[in-house]
Homo-oligomer: A and B are copies of this chain.
Amino acid sequence: MDKDCAGVDPVSILDIARRAKVSPATVSRVFNRPEKVSGATREQVRAICRELGYRPNASASTLRTQRSRVLGVILPTLTNPVFAECLQGIAQATAALGYSIMPATTDYRVEIEQEAVTTLQSFGVDGTILVVSDAETSIALQMLAQRQRPYVLVYNRHPDHPTVSVAGDTALRDLVHELVQLGHRRIAMVCGQLDASDRAQQRLAGFMQGMHKAGLTPQPLVQVPFVETAIEDVARVLRAPSRPTALVCSNDLIAIRALRAAHECGLRVPADLSITGFDGIRLGHDLTPILSTVVQPNQDMGRHSVELLLRALREGRQPTTSESITLPYHFFRGESCAQAPF
Protein backbone atom coordinates (compact mmCIF):
# COMPACT_ATOMS: atom_id res chain seq x y z
CA MET A 1 0.00 0.00 0.00
CA ASP A 2 1.60 3.22 -1.13
CA LYS A 3 0.08 5.35 1.59
CA ASP A 4 -2.06 4.10 4.37
CA CYS A 5 -2.44 7.43 6.04
CA ALA A 6 -3.49 10.99 5.38
CA GLY A 7 -1.02 13.02 3.41
CA VAL A 8 0.05 16.62 3.33
CA ASP A 9 -1.84 17.98 0.35
CA PRO A 10 -5.46 18.95 0.57
CA VAL A 11 -7.87 16.41 -0.81
CA SER A 12 -10.92 17.61 -2.69
CA ILE A 13 -14.20 15.99 -3.48
CA LEU A 14 -12.92 15.44 -6.99
CA ASP A 15 -10.04 13.31 -5.80
CA ILE A 16 -12.45 11.14 -3.91
CA ALA A 17 -14.81 10.94 -6.85
CA ARG A 18 -12.01 9.92 -9.17
CA ARG A 19 -10.65 7.25 -6.83
CA ALA A 20 -14.11 5.86 -6.22
CA LYS A 21 -15.07 6.09 -9.87
CA VAL A 22 -18.20 8.03 -9.10
CA SER A 23 -19.24 11.60 -9.69
CA PRO A 24 -18.52 14.36 -7.18
CA ALA A 25 -22.25 14.66 -6.67
CA THR A 26 -22.33 11.15 -5.29
CA VAL A 27 -19.55 11.87 -2.87
CA SER A 28 -21.38 14.96 -1.77
CA ARG A 29 -24.51 12.92 -1.23
CA VAL A 30 -22.65 10.45 0.91
CA PHE A 31 -22.05 13.30 3.32
CA ASN A 32 -25.31 15.18 3.03
CA ARG A 33 -27.97 12.67 1.99
CA PRO A 34 -26.45 9.25 2.62
CA GLU A 35 -29.86 7.62 2.26
CA LYS A 36 -29.94 8.61 -1.40
CA VAL A 37 -26.86 6.56 -2.14
CA SER A 38 -26.74 2.79 -2.52
CA GLY A 39 -25.20 0.99 0.40
CA ALA A 40 -22.33 -0.38 -1.62
CA THR A 41 -21.07 2.86 -3.13
CA ARG A 42 -21.70 4.68 0.11
CA GLU A 43 -19.38 2.39 2.00
CA GLN A 44 -16.80 2.42 -0.72
CA VAL A 45 -16.75 6.20 -0.83
CA ARG A 46 -16.54 6.35 2.93
CA ALA A 47 -13.60 3.97 2.90
CA ILE A 48 -11.71 6.14 0.46
CA CYS A 49 -12.50 9.28 2.41
CA ARG A 50 -11.15 7.67 5.53
CA GLU A 51 -8.07 6.46 3.72
CA LEU A 52 -7.31 9.86 2.29
CA GLY A 53 -8.42 11.71 5.39
CA TYR A 54 -10.93 13.69 3.41
CA ARG A 55 -13.31 16.17 5.00
CA PRO A 56 -15.48 18.51 2.96
CA ASN A 57 -14.19 22.06 2.74
CA ALA A 58 -16.45 24.11 4.96
CA SER A 59 -15.88 27.40 3.16
CA ALA A 60 -16.92 25.92 -0.13
CA SER A 61 -20.02 24.39 1.29
CA THR A 62 -20.89 27.56 3.18
CA LEU A 63 -20.50 29.56 0.03
CA ARG A 64 -22.66 27.18 -1.90
CA THR A 65 -25.40 26.56 0.64
CA GLN A 66 -25.39 29.85 2.49
CA ARG A 67 -25.23 27.89 5.71
CA SER A 68 -22.07 27.81 7.75
CA ARG A 69 -22.98 25.68 10.73
CA VAL A 70 -21.19 28.28 12.79
CA LEU A 71 -22.66 30.36 15.56
CA GLY A 72 -21.20 33.70 16.51
CA VAL A 73 -20.82 34.48 20.18
CA ILE A 74 -20.26 37.94 21.60
CA LEU A 75 -19.35 38.26 25.27
CA PRO A 76 -17.97 41.04 27.44
CA THR A 77 -14.99 39.10 28.79
CA LEU A 78 -13.80 35.61 29.61
CA THR A 79 -12.09 36.95 32.66
CA ASN A 80 -15.37 36.74 34.52
CA PRO A 81 -16.15 33.05 35.12
CA VAL A 82 -19.85 33.62 34.50
CA PHE A 83 -19.20 34.16 30.84
CA ALA A 84 -16.51 31.54 30.63
CA GLU A 85 -18.92 28.99 32.09
CA CYS A 86 -21.62 30.09 29.72
CA LEU A 87 -19.29 29.80 26.75
CA GLN A 88 -18.33 26.34 27.91
CA GLY A 89 -22.02 25.42 27.79
CA ILE A 90 -22.34 26.95 24.35
CA ALA A 91 -19.26 25.11 23.12
CA GLN A 92 -20.55 21.78 24.36
CA ALA A 93 -24.06 22.21 23.02
CA THR A 94 -22.94 23.38 19.61
CA ALA A 95 -20.36 20.63 19.23
CA ALA A 96 -22.96 18.03 20.13
CA LEU A 97 -25.19 19.36 17.37
CA GLY A 98 -22.52 19.60 14.72
CA TYR A 99 -21.98 23.33 14.96
CA SER A 100 -18.87 25.34 15.61
CA ILE A 101 -18.51 28.69 17.31
CA MET A 102 -16.74 31.92 16.67
CA PRO A 103 -16.54 34.01 19.81
CA ALA A 104 -15.46 37.59 20.30
CA THR A 105 -14.97 39.52 23.51
CA THR A 106 -15.91 43.17 23.79
CA ASP A 107 -14.53 44.20 27.14
CA TYR A 108 -17.89 45.92 27.68
CA ARG A 109 -17.24 48.33 24.83
CA VAL A 110 -20.15 48.99 22.53
CA GLU A 111 -18.03 49.89 19.51
CA ILE A 112 -16.44 46.49 19.76
CA GLU A 113 -19.85 44.85 19.99
CA GLN A 114 -20.63 46.38 16.63
CA GLU A 115 -17.35 45.40 15.06
CA ALA A 116 -17.86 41.88 16.29
CA VAL A 117 -21.28 41.71 14.71
CA THR A 118 -19.97 42.78 11.34
CA THR A 119 -16.99 40.44 11.27
CA LEU A 120 -19.15 37.54 12.37
CA GLN A 121 -21.61 38.49 9.69
CA SER A 122 -18.89 38.44 7.07
CA PHE A 123 -18.15 34.85 8.04
CA GLY A 124 -21.77 34.05 7.42
CA VAL A 125 -22.57 32.76 10.86
CA ASP A 126 -25.98 31.14 10.94
CA GLY A 127 -26.86 32.93 14.13
CA THR A 128 -25.42 34.92 16.99
CA ILE A 129 -25.54 34.50 20.73
CA LEU A 130 -24.68 37.64 22.58
CA VAL A 131 -24.61 39.48 25.81
CA VAL A 132 -24.57 43.20 25.26
CA SER A 133 -23.93 46.00 27.67
CA ASP A 134 -27.40 47.40 27.35
CA ALA A 135 -30.08 45.69 25.30
CA GLU A 136 -32.20 48.83 25.17
CA THR A 137 -29.63 50.92 23.37
CA SER A 138 -27.33 48.40 21.71
CA ILE A 139 -26.53 49.28 18.12
CA ALA A 140 -25.10 45.82 17.60
CA LEU A 141 -28.48 44.41 18.44
CA GLN A 142 -30.26 46.82 16.14
CA MET A 143 -27.98 45.78 13.32
CA LEU A 144 -28.88 42.13 13.77
CA ALA A 145 -32.58 42.80 14.14
CA GLN A 146 -32.76 45.14 11.20
CA ARG A 147 -30.90 42.78 8.91
CA GLN A 148 -33.05 39.96 10.18
CA ARG A 149 -30.17 37.86 11.34
CA PRO A 150 -31.13 35.24 13.90
CA TYR A 151 -29.84 35.95 17.39
CA VAL A 152 -30.49 35.34 21.05
CA LEU A 153 -29.45 37.42 23.98
CA VAL A 154 -28.10 35.70 27.07
CA TYR A 155 -28.20 37.29 30.51
CA ASN A 156 -29.76 40.44 29.09
CA ARG A 157 -33.50 40.69 29.62
CA HIS A 158 -35.61 42.73 27.26
CA PRO A 159 -39.18 42.32 26.07
CA ASP A 160 -38.33 43.18 22.46
CA HIS A 161 -35.69 40.52 22.02
CA PRO A 162 -35.42 36.76 22.32
CA THR A 163 -33.50 36.14 25.52
CA VAL A 164 -32.30 33.44 27.86
CA SER A 165 -32.02 34.95 31.29
CA VAL A 166 -32.84 34.94 34.94
CA ALA A 167 -35.08 37.41 36.74
CA GLY A 168 -32.37 39.38 38.46
CA ASP A 169 -34.71 42.03 39.79
CA THR A 170 -37.04 39.57 41.44
CA ALA A 171 -34.08 37.66 42.79
CA LEU A 172 -32.72 40.72 44.49
CA ARG A 173 -36.11 41.76 45.78
CA ASP A 174 -36.46 38.38 47.46
CA LEU A 175 -32.90 38.47 48.63
CA VAL A 176 -33.47 41.74 50.45
CA HIS A 177 -36.47 40.14 52.08
CA GLU A 178 -34.31 37.31 53.34
CA LEU A 179 -31.78 39.70 54.72
CA VAL A 180 -34.48 41.65 56.47
CA GLN A 181 -35.76 38.43 57.98
CA LEU A 182 -32.27 37.89 59.28
CA GLY A 183 -32.48 41.19 61.09
CA HIS A 184 -30.54 43.36 58.69
CA ARG A 185 -31.56 46.99 58.38
CA ARG A 186 -28.49 48.79 57.11
CA ILE A 187 -28.06 47.14 53.76
CA ALA A 188 -25.94 48.51 50.94
CA MET A 189 -25.73 47.47 47.34
CA VAL A 190 -22.31 47.23 45.71
CA CYS A 191 -21.95 47.24 41.97
CA GLY A 192 -19.50 47.87 39.16
CA GLN A 193 -19.99 50.22 36.25
CA LEU A 194 -23.73 50.45 36.04
CA ASP A 195 -23.80 51.78 32.51
CA ALA A 196 -21.80 48.82 31.25
CA SER A 197 -24.36 46.28 32.39
CA ASP A 198 -28.11 46.40 32.19
CA ARG A 199 -28.10 43.30 34.42
CA ALA A 200 -26.54 45.29 37.20
CA GLN A 201 -29.14 48.00 36.69
CA GLN A 202 -31.97 45.51 36.90
CA ARG A 203 -30.51 43.93 39.98
CA LEU A 204 -30.20 47.34 41.55
CA ALA A 205 -33.81 48.09 40.70
CA GLY A 206 -34.87 44.88 42.40
CA PHE A 207 -32.79 45.78 45.39
CA MET A 208 -34.47 49.16 45.68
CA GLN A 209 -37.90 47.59 45.41
CA GLY A 210 -37.04 45.16 48.12
CA MET A 211 -35.78 47.86 50.41
CA HIS A 212 -38.80 49.99 49.74
CA LYS A 213 -41.17 47.15 50.41
CA ALA A 214 -39.43 46.54 53.71
CA GLY A 215 -39.74 50.21 54.55
CA LEU A 216 -35.99 50.62 54.69
CA THR A 217 -33.78 53.37 53.36
CA PRO A 218 -31.03 51.85 51.28
CA GLN A 219 -27.53 52.81 52.27
CA PRO A 220 -25.78 54.83 49.58
CA LEU A 221 -24.92 52.75 46.53
CA VAL A 222 -21.31 51.60 46.54
CA GLN A 223 -19.83 51.77 43.07
CA VAL A 224 -16.62 49.93 42.32
CA PRO A 225 -15.86 50.78 38.71
CA PHE A 226 -12.36 49.30 38.59
CA VAL A 227 -11.21 45.94 39.85
CA GLU A 228 -7.92 47.45 40.94
CA THR A 229 -9.56 49.69 43.50
CA ALA A 230 -12.63 47.60 44.30
CA ILE A 231 -11.41 46.22 47.60
CA GLU A 232 -10.36 49.63 48.80
CA ASP A 233 -13.63 51.21 47.71
CA VAL A 234 -15.61 48.71 49.71
CA ALA A 235 -13.29 48.93 52.68
CA ARG A 236 -13.88 52.66 52.87
CA VAL A 237 -17.58 52.08 53.32
CA LEU A 238 -16.98 49.44 55.95
CA ARG A 239 -14.91 51.80 58.04
CA ALA A 240 -17.63 54.43 58.15
CA PRO A 241 -19.30 55.01 61.52
CA SER A 242 -22.66 53.37 60.90
CA ARG A 243 -21.50 50.85 58.39
CA PRO A 244 -23.90 48.46 56.71
CA THR A 245 -24.48 45.05 58.27
CA ALA A 246 -25.07 43.51 54.88
CA LEU A 247 -23.52 44.05 51.48
CA VAL A 248 -25.50 42.96 48.46
CA CYS A 249 -23.09 42.68 45.56
CA SER A 250 -24.20 42.78 41.97
CA ASN A 251 -21.99 39.83 41.05
CA ASP A 252 -19.80 37.16 42.57
CA LEU A 253 -16.52 38.71 41.57
CA ILE A 254 -17.42 41.84 43.45
CA ALA A 255 -18.67 39.81 46.39
CA ILE A 256 -15.36 38.01 46.63
CA ARG A 257 -13.56 41.33 46.75
CA ALA A 258 -16.02 42.55 49.36
CA LEU A 259 -15.11 39.48 51.40
CA ARG A 260 -11.54 40.57 51.16
CA ALA A 261 -12.40 44.13 52.11
CA ALA A 262 -14.21 42.89 55.21
CA HIS A 263 -11.16 40.89 56.18
CA GLU A 264 -8.94 43.90 55.77
CA CYS A 265 -11.25 45.91 57.99
CA GLY A 266 -11.10 43.26 60.65
CA LEU A 267 -14.72 42.31 60.19
CA ARG A 268 -15.77 38.69 60.42
CA VAL A 269 -18.09 37.35 57.77
CA PRO A 270 -20.83 36.51 58.48
CA ALA A 271 -20.67 37.32 62.20
CA ASP A 272 -20.11 41.04 61.74
CA LEU A 273 -21.12 41.46 58.15
CA SER A 274 -23.17 39.51 55.66
CA ILE A 275 -22.15 39.48 52.02
CA THR A 276 -24.07 38.14 49.06
CA GLY A 277 -23.16 37.78 45.42
CA PHE A 278 -24.92 37.08 42.18
CA ASP A 279 -24.12 34.58 39.41
CA GLY A 280 -23.27 31.34 41.13
CA ILE A 281 -19.84 30.89 39.64
CA ARG A 282 -18.48 27.44 40.33
CA LEU A 283 -15.69 28.69 42.50
CA GLY A 284 -17.98 30.38 44.99
CA HIS A 285 -18.97 26.98 46.38
CA ASP A 286 -15.42 26.13 47.31
CA LEU A 287 -14.54 29.35 49.08
CA THR A 288 -14.32 29.88 52.77
CA PRO A 289 -16.77 31.20 53.68
CA ILE A 290 -18.86 29.58 50.98
CA LEU A 291 -20.28 32.45 49.01
CA SER A 292 -23.94 33.23 49.53
CA THR A 293 -25.25 34.02 46.11
CA VAL A 294 -28.06 33.97 43.62
CA VAL A 295 -27.18 30.95 41.55
CA GLN A 296 -27.83 31.01 37.84
CA PRO A 297 -27.27 27.89 35.74
CA ASN A 298 -24.52 29.45 33.68
CA GLN A 299 -23.59 26.50 31.50
CA ASP A 300 -27.24 25.73 30.97
CA MET A 301 -27.92 29.28 29.97
CA GLY A 302 -25.39 28.77 27.22
CA ARG A 303 -26.92 25.45 26.24
CA HIS A 304 -30.43 26.82 26.19
CA SER A 305 -29.46 29.73 24.02
CA VAL A 306 -27.90 27.34 21.54
CA GLU A 307 -30.98 25.18 21.49
CA LEU A 308 -33.34 28.09 21.16
CA LEU A 309 -31.34 29.51 18.29
CA LEU A 310 -30.87 26.23 16.46
CA ARG A 311 -34.51 25.29 16.79
CA ALA A 312 -35.46 28.48 15.01
CA LEU A 313 -32.75 27.94 12.43
CA ARG A 314 -34.00 24.45 11.70
CA GLU A 315 -37.43 25.87 11.10
CA GLY A 316 -36.00 28.51 8.84
CA ARG A 317 -37.02 31.44 10.98
CA GLN A 318 -35.69 33.79 13.58
CA PRO A 319 -36.18 33.27 17.28
CA THR A 320 -39.13 35.22 18.58
CA THR A 321 -39.62 37.10 21.80
CA SER A 322 -42.27 34.59 22.74
CA GLU A 323 -39.56 31.95 22.94
CA SER A 324 -37.59 33.88 25.51
CA ILE A 325 -36.67 31.70 28.44
CA THR A 326 -36.55 32.79 32.03
CA LEU A 327 -34.51 30.20 33.85
CA PRO A 328 -34.93 29.56 37.55
CA TYR A 329 -32.42 30.89 40.00
CA HIS A 330 -32.06 30.04 43.62
CA PHE A 331 -30.58 31.83 46.51
CA PHE A 332 -27.83 29.71 47.95
CA ARG A 333 -27.43 30.55 51.59
CA GLY A 334 -23.77 29.59 51.77
CA GLU A 335 -21.75 30.85 54.70
CA SER A 336 -21.17 34.50 53.95
CA CYS A 337 -24.58 35.56 55.07
CA ALA A 338 -26.25 35.21 58.47
CA GLN A 339 -28.21 36.88 61.23
CA ALA A 340 -27.47 40.56 61.68
CA PRO A 341 -25.18 41.43 64.59
CA PHE A 342 -26.57 43.46 67.48
Contacts and interface: CB of A to CB of B under 8 A. Distances in A.
Contacts of A91: 78, 103-105
A237 to B, nearest CB: 17
A13 B253 CA distance: 46
Number of chain A interface residues as a range: 35 or more
A63 B59 contact: yes
Interface in A79-95: 79, 81, 84-85, 87-88, 91-92, 95
A260 interface: yes
A81 to B, nearest CB: 6
Given A60-B63, A119-B100, A84 B78 contact: yes
A260 B56 CA distance: 50
Interface string A261-285: 0010000000000000000001100
B78 A105 contact: no
A339 interface: no
Given A59-B68, A88-B78, A147-B7, A260 B286 contact: yes
Given A5-B146, A282-B79, A102 B100 contact: yes
A336 B60 CA distance: 55
A92 B120 CA distance: 15
A282 to B, nearest CB: 6
Nearest to A56: B122
Nearest to A79: B88
A55 B147 contact: no
A267 to B, nearest CB: 11
Given A55-B121, A63-B60, A283-B256, A92 B105 contact: yes
A329 B92 CA distance: 32
A271 to B, nearest CB: 14
A283 B259 CA distance: 12
A77 B105 CA distance: 17
B55 A146 contact: no
12 contacts: A6-B143, A59-B124, A60-B63, A79-B84, A79-B88, A79-B282, A81-B84, A100-B120, A100-B123, A102-B102, A231-B286, A256-B283
Given A55-B119, A59-B63, A84-B87, 19 more contacts: A5-B146, A6-B146, A6-B147, A55-B122, A57-B63, A58-B59, A59-B60, A59-B68, A70-B102, A79-B282, A81-B81, A92-B107, A95-B104, A100-B104, A100-B120, A100-B123, A101-B102, A102-B102, A103-B103
